[in-house]
Chain A
Amino acid sequence: MSAHKTLKLIGFVSIAISLSFGALFASAQEKFGFGKPAHPDEIARYNSDIHTDGSGLPDGSGDVALGAEIYEYQCALCHGEELEGVPEMGANSLHEGRRDIKKLPYASSLFDFIRRAMPLTDPGTLSNDETYGLVAFLLNETGVIKDDNLTLDAKSLAAIKMPNRQNFIIDPASRFTAEDLQ
């Protein structure tokens, strides 16, 4: 191979290398820019989740009496008149086992899930007041807070300390400790 050709080849290779490096560099540094900025209204429409400190809890309130009324016609068919559960409807007892309300670590989960996913055949239709009422009813009924006049709102629900909280231990394989999660 002549020196001229060799030089040409080296030149070509180095241009090719710098081009490909350039492309890699660009992809590593620059943004793709796909998607649109989320409008706050759009976030608010979907951001229904309740954090364990109670943030996300909406306005409104409900008491045990309201909850009992809602429970009777929205929940009892599957969960049973006495919260005993109707297995053929897919619902286990709320007094014992894995669905035992006394065992929940946070009341926020209860509000979040009822408002999000219940009733099974028409999820997401309970009002905030009705959901507060149901949480009050369930906590009273299961003896977590024995108070027939219990009324819950964002502030009072966030203040509830569930009695079983300290019994939750964190699987080390999750790479978190209990302290990380406080």
Chain B
Amino acid sequence: MKSNQTGNPTRRHFMKAGMATSAALLSSSALAQETTLEPSRGPGKTVMEMGYYGERSEYVKDARMKGNRGTGLIGGSLTPLQHGHGIVTPSGLHFEVHHSGVPDIDPSEHKLLIHGLVGEEKVFTMEDLMRFPTVNRFHFLECAGNGMGEWMSPRGQTVQQTHGLTSCSQWTGVPLKVILNELGVRGDAKWVLAEGDDGARMTRSIPMWKAMDDAILAFAQNGEFLRPEQGFPLRLLVPGFEGNMNVKWLHRLEVGDKPWWTHHEVTEYADPRPDDKIRAFSFIMEGRSVITSPSAGMTLNGPGFYEISGLAWSGAGTIKKVEVSMDNGNTWHDANLEAPVLPKCHTRFTLPWTWDGKETTLMSRSTDDTGYVQPTYEGMYKLQGPIGLMHNNAIQNWHIAQTGEITNVRS
């Protein structure tokens, strides 16, 4: 065998052109005897060039997208759930909803005033607050309006548009009860008004039982300080309650004996029913799940193996079971729940699936540890009727065409 083709111009050309040299190497056993190995990339960027707050790869483009409603001052952006992994949402992809934009707050000047029906009325700096004992909790946060556009008919092109107003983080902060106990709560205190320091000074009434249960004055998210759009330097976290109650840029808590029936409590976040009644104080984000992959906007690349992966969560407790149907709801299969499975937290579920190439519909259904089963749209209409807007937690259907194309449908 001729051992040497060192001067082979074709091969040199290949390498210079940076083409697929592995293909070239496979093309001839003579080439395999070449002494020249594929050269390494050579040195990359230095630590200094990379900078001291790490950025993701330039090839990764996942981003939030603006919601349909609002001007940007009022309104928000949606999390790209279709590209997410695990249960934690990167802080930069956490959905956001604002009522007067994102304020710029210097934490050294930020204060929290607590007054009303308490033994001592006090003001805390951030330094004061961060001296209290802290907790670290993984919790989802979901806007009550997540999926509002889907009530009447399927409209979202992707799971980002249908479900992108939920995200999940590890939150660090001081349990509110620690501070309320420190100040002393009067016997007639039943509610706490939480006020943000944004332009709208947004307010919500929080029941005292929640304040004394698992509410957190959070200053950190996923191991670093809150992002500005998440309430820097301080937000209220009321785990499992509708997102709007998790007041951002928190600067005042007033303890009172009655709810305030604030603007948001009596308009967007009250739920009209078909009988002219309006359901108020519907705080809890009930059990819900959605398949994030494969999902609408994706196309399956022919028959074969696919892992079905999705998220389930419940504001009332812990996810106990997620069932997946790959045949339009005729049969259901228990999905794997990936640890950790935590209360009031996104839970990742998976299920191996081999697509036979035929048209079908995928759907998932969650059950939490209170026994609550995620409803169909028909089931949900019984509560709010088709006029609903908030608290859409119905089962989502993804239709798969023979071409592999996936779309948002209502079966």
Contact = CB atoms under 8 A, between A and B. Distances in A.
Interface of A: 27, 31-32, 34-38, 42-43, 46-52, 88-90, 98-99, 103-106, 108-110, 112-113, 116-117, 120-121, 123-124, 164, 167-171, 173-176, 180-181
8 tightest Cβ-Cβ pairs between the two chains A and B: A113-B263, A117-B200, A174-B281, A171-B282, A35-B124, A38-B121, A35-B122, A34-B128
Contacts of B261: 52, 105-106, 108-109
A101 to B, nearest CB: 10
A98 B268 contact: yes
B247 interface: no
Contacts of B278: 103, 164, 167-169
Contact of B203 (A38, A88, A108, A116): A116
Interface in B54-102: 69-71, 73-75, 99-100
Given A52-B261, A90-B73, A171-B281, A38 B201 contact: no
A31 B259 CA distance: 29
Contacts of A43: 113, 115, 121
A32 B123 contact: no
Interface string B327-354: 0000000000000000000000000000
A112 B262 contact: yes
Contact of B123 (A38, A88, A103, A104): A38
Nearest to B390: A98
A120 B201 CA distance: 11
B190 A180 contact: yes
A109 B276 CA distance: 20
B182 A48 contact: no
A37 B120 contact: yes
A109 B254 contact: no
B114, B251, B256, B261 pick with most chain A CB within 10 angstroms? B261
B282 A48 contact: no
Contact of B73 (A31, A98, A106, A120): A120
A113 B70 CA distance: 18
B252 interface: yes
Nearest to B100: A123
A123 B200 contact: yes
A109 B283 CA distance: 19
Interface string B123-134: 111001101110
Interface in B269-325: 270, 272, 276-284, 316
B218 interface: no
29 contacts: A31-B182, A32-B182, A37-B123, A38-B113, A38-B122, A42-B113, A43-B115, A46-B113, A49-B260, A51-B258, A52-B258, A89-B71, A109-B260, A109-B261, A110-B263, A112-B260, A123-B100, A123-B201, A124-B201, A168-B277, A171-B280, A174-B207, A174-B282, A174-B283, A175-B207, A176-B207, A176-B259, A176-B281, A180-B190
Contact of B74 (A31, A120, A164): A120
Nearest to A110: B263
B118 to A, nearest CB: 10
A171 B270 CA distance: 10
A46 B201 CA distance: 10
B199 interface: yes
A16 to B, nearest CB: 22
Given A49-B203, A49-B260, A90 B193 contact: no
Given A46-B113, A176-B259, 6 more contacts: A43-B115, A49-B262, A89-B71, A90-B74, A123-B100, A180-B190
B266 A104 contact: yes
Contacts of B14: none
A92 to B, nearest CB: 9
A32 B175 CA distance: 14
A109 B266 contact: yes
B267 interface: yes
A142 B149 CA distance: 28
A145 B356 CA distance: 66
B202 interface: yes
A123 B261 CA distance: 20
Nearest to B281: A174
Contacts of A176: 207, 259, 281
Nearest to B197: A46
Nearest to A99: B267
A173 B284 contact: yes
Given A46-B251, A103-B278, A98 B389 contact: yes
Contacts of B199: 117, 123-124
B131 A117 contact: no
A164 B277 CA distance: 9
B70 A49 contact: no
Nearest to A56: B260
Given A46-B252, A168-B278, A181 B258 contact: yes
Given A46-B113, A123-B199, A36 B266 contact: no
A168 B281 CA distance: 10
A116 B262 CA distance: 11
A64 to B, nearest CB: 22
Nearest to A48: B201
